[in-house]
A and B are shown apart, each in its own frame.
Chain A
Amino acid sequence: MDVNMTYATQDIWTWWLAIYLYFGGLGAATLAVTFLTDMYLKPHRHLVIWGAGAGVVLLALGSLMLFGHLLDKTAVLNVLNPMILFRKPDAWIAWGTQFIIWMMVWGVLYALPYVRETDFPRKVPGLRNLIDRPFVVTIGTLVQRFHYTVGWLAVINGVGVAVYTGLLLQSFPAVALWHNPAVPLLFTVSAFSTAMAFLLLLMYTLINDQADEYIRVLYERIDLVLIAAELVILFSLYQYLKNGSESGVRSLELLWNDYGWLIGFIGFGLIVPFVLELKGVIKGWATRVPIITASILVLTGGYLLRYYFMYAGVYAYPW
């Protein structure tokens, strides 16, 4: 009975959902990477504050995108309640919402002792009074005692957010581009790659400290591996889409015939930064400009990936 099919893309979840997925992945992975660095590589106040700050701000902005498009904003209370996981354990948005909330909570708590040691928050009216309150001081002491537990709780929820962004798209079975196991993998790898790029950008500009050189080198190497993994996943996705279902073939045609995807994302968002970082790792660069350029390109590519993914999903209707 599947005759006279009509193929259509959707206009329900568009650029704004791509921002939600992008900020969610980037913010969560940044938080996870900075906390792991602080716990196991080098205690780093600035990095943790930036990581927790980026996690909270980006996740809040991304969530606002989704919240702003809800039909009934008061009903959002239904998913904010953690008990929703018992009622709807099969819904990824329920998991994602809980991951986001708890990542923010544990992230802020982990950063709290560092925030109390930092000058800047003390200059912000309101914040100074808050962080000197006795109960905040007590919480800070407790967090220091359970440093690793709080750190890991934040990291686990952060990784959960990054993986969730891909699982969400994978849960839509009608669209071959989305409904395959490469998608959560691709989105997770991309989230961590953009986080590395964001941190490299930060560590070559705002928190540029020569003593952090070995962290930067490590981040560059990890990013190189992540970009390589992303290219391999994309190659497999291409192979998967080119035969199998008409929905997949049409998505492939939409993507691989579009210069924004081909040159913008794959070319400038993956291959060019890969080459720049590879040269940096093998021979080194005389200036920081190439790595800053590579980071900006990776960050732009991360959004392009999600943007094109949303627009290129093809539904096959049997009428």
Chain B
Amino acid sequence: MPHFAMVIDLNTCVGCNACMAACAMENQAPVWDKDKWRTYVHDKEIGLGSDVNRRFFPRLCNHCDNPPCMSVCPTGATQKKANGIVFVDQELCMGCRACAMACPYHARVAITSDDMREGREFYGSDYRRTSPSMDKCSFCDHRVEQGIKPACVETCVGSARMFGDLDDPNDPVAQMVASGAARALMPHIGTRPNVYYIDDIKWRG
């Protein structure tokens, strides 16, 4: 069984936001509210005076191996697959938002009945959602199960997003993680994330 993970190289992310758009269309995100996209690219200026770098920082659900969003979920809507993907069963979810409170990575978004109404107008008869619920990145599990990479990875122009199997020693993603070049965010919280970042700042200026 694979153990899926993503590596994001901050050196090559150019902040084009193509990943956001690809994800939104693939997963029918509420594009009318920028706070509700499953993935988001932060744009930050780092440094002082003339020594300033612009950093683009994509964020998404980290598909934690010890996910606090799952343990607090009272309905059992948040579950983890054997391949490491954490997902929300929208039929079970009652939308208490405890998962959003528990997530240290700001990865949860609320899809309300109003969003569903707009969604039906925007996406037309293709709209798949059947009930309001909390939502988050699913690593495009519907694609991954068919052997296709997540939409954001496939569309990334700078190849900043890489997707792979940590249990495969020949997978470049597994190698980048094992070498320490790619690191998890806030590992001290104990969430054991499966999204890793390659730092950009130390290579600059």
Residues in A with CB closer than 8 Å to B131 are: 72, 75
Q: Which of A140-157 contact B (CB under 8 A)?
A: none
**Distance (whole angstroms) from the CB of B111 to the closest CB of chain A:** 7
Pick the contact of A173: B57, B68, B75, B93 (CB < 8 A).
Answer: B68
Q: Are the CB atoms of A172 and B68 closer together than 8 Å?
A: yes
Given A71-B111, A172-B68: A319 and B97 interface contact (C-beta under 8 Å): no
- Binary B-proximity of A56-88 (CB < 8 A = 1, otherwise 0): 000000000010011111011011000010011
CA of A317 to CA of B59, assembled, Å = 10
Is B26 interfacial (CB 8 A cutoff)?
Answer: no
Looking at chain A's contact residues, the main secondary structure is loop
Establish whether residues B71 and A66, one from each chain, have CB atoms under 8 Å apart when the complex forms.
no
| Cβ 8 A contact of A1, one of B94, B133, B183 | B183
| B73, A88: Cβ atoms closer than 8 Å | yes
Q: Does B18 contact A (CB under 8 A)?
A: no
The segment out of A91-99, A125-133, A202-210, A231-239 that lies at the interface is A91-99
* Contact (A174, B94) CB under 8 Å given A71-B111, A79-B75, A84-B76: no
Q: A91 and B74 in contact (CB under 8 A), knowing A10-B101, A12-B100, A174-B189?
A: yes
Q: Is B199 an interface residue (CB 8 A)?
A: yes
Identify the closest chain A residue to B92 (Cβ): A78
| B76 contact from A73, A78, A173, Cβ within 8 A | A78
- Contact bitstring B175-193, A, C-beta under 8 A = 1, else 0: 0000000011110011100
Q: In the complex, how many angstroms separate the beta carbon of A14 from the nearest chain B beta carbon? A: 11
> Given A78-B92, A78-B94, A172-B68, are A72 and B74 neighbors across the interface (CB < 8 Å)?
no
A236 to chain B, nearest CB (A): 22
**Cα separation A109 to B164 with both chains bound (whole Å):** 58
* Distance, CA A227 to CA B190, complexed state (A): 34
CA gap between A173 and B102 in the complex, in Å: 6
Query: Which of B74, B103, B197 has the most CB atoms of chain A within a 10 A radius of its CB?
Result: B74
Chain B residues with Cβ below 8 Å from A1 are: 183-185, 197, 199
Q: Tell me, yes or no, whether A4 is within 8 Å of chain B by CB.
A: yes
Interface membership of B134, Cβ < 8 A:
yes
Partner of B46 from A4, A79, A317 at Cβ < 8 Å:
A4
Quick check: B101 and A316 within 8 Å, CB to CB?
Answer: no
Residues of A near B111 (CB, < 8 A) are: 71
Q: Which residue of B lies closest to A89 (CB)?
A: B71
A119 contacts partner chain B, Cβ-Cβ < 8 Å: no
Contact at B95–A71, with CB atoms within 8 Å? yes
Cβ of B106 and Cβ of A317 under 8 Å apart? yes
Number of A-B contacts (CB under 8 A): 119
Cα-based distance from A210 to B197 in the complex (angstroms): 70
Say whether, besides A71-B134, A84-B76, A319 and B93 are in contact (CB < 8 Å). no
Q: How far is the CA of A267 from the CA of B73 in the complex (A)?
A: 37
Query: Are A75 and B92 in contact, CB atoms less than 8 angstroms apart?
Result: yes
When the two chains form the complex, which single residue of B59, B91, B106, B132 contacts A71, counting CB atoms closer than 8 Å? B132
Interface size class of A (residues with CB under 8 A): 35 or more
Q: Which of B85-127 contact A (CB under 8 A)?
A: 91-98, 100-106, 110-113
Whether a CB of chain B sits under 8 angstroms from the CB of A171 is yes
CB of B149 within 8 A of chain A?
no
Residues of B within 8 A of A317 (CB): 105-106
A108 to B180, CA, bound (A): 60
Given contacts A4-B46, A72-B93, A88-B76, contact A93 B98 (CB under 8 A): yes
Q: How far is the CB of A92 from chain B (nearest CB, A)?
A: 7
How far, in whole Å, are A69 and B96 apart by their CA atoms in the complex? 7
CB atoms of A318 and B186 under 8 A apart = yes
In the complex the two chains form, is B201's CB within 8 Å of A3's CB?
yes
Asked if B103 contacts A174 (CB within 8 A), the reply is yes
Report which of B55, B68, B101 forms a contact with A13, defined as CB distance below 8 A: B101
Closest-CB distance, A317 to chain B (whole angstroms): 6
> Which chain B residues border A173 with CB–CB below 8 Å?
68, 102, 104, 189-191
Indicate if the CB atoms of B105 and A72 lie closer than 8 Å. Answer: no
- Known contacts A70-B95, A71-B95, A75-B94: A93-B74 contact under CB 8 Å: yes
> Does B42 make an interface contact (CB < 8 A)?
yes
Q: Does B21 contact A (CB under 8 A)?
A: no
Does A106 lie at the interface of the complex (its beta carbon under 8 Å from any beta carbon of B)? Answer: no
Question: For the complex, what is the distance from the CA of A69 to the CA of B93, rounded to whole Å?
Answer: 13
- 8 residue pairs, one from A and one from B, having the closest CB atoms: A71-B95, A174-B104, A93-B74, A75-B94, A78-B75, A94-B74, A319-B57, A71-B132
A-B contact pairs, 15 of them (CB 8 A): A1-B197, A13-B97, A71-B111, A72-B93, A72-B131, A75-B92, A78-B75, A84-B75, A88-B75, A91-B98, A97-B74, A171-B68, A171-B102, A173-B68, A317-B105
By a beta-carbon cutoff of 8 Å, the part of chain B in contact with chain A is 42, 44, 46, 55, 57, 59, 68, 71-77, 91-98, 100-106, 110-113, 131-134, 183-186, 189-191, 197, 199, 201
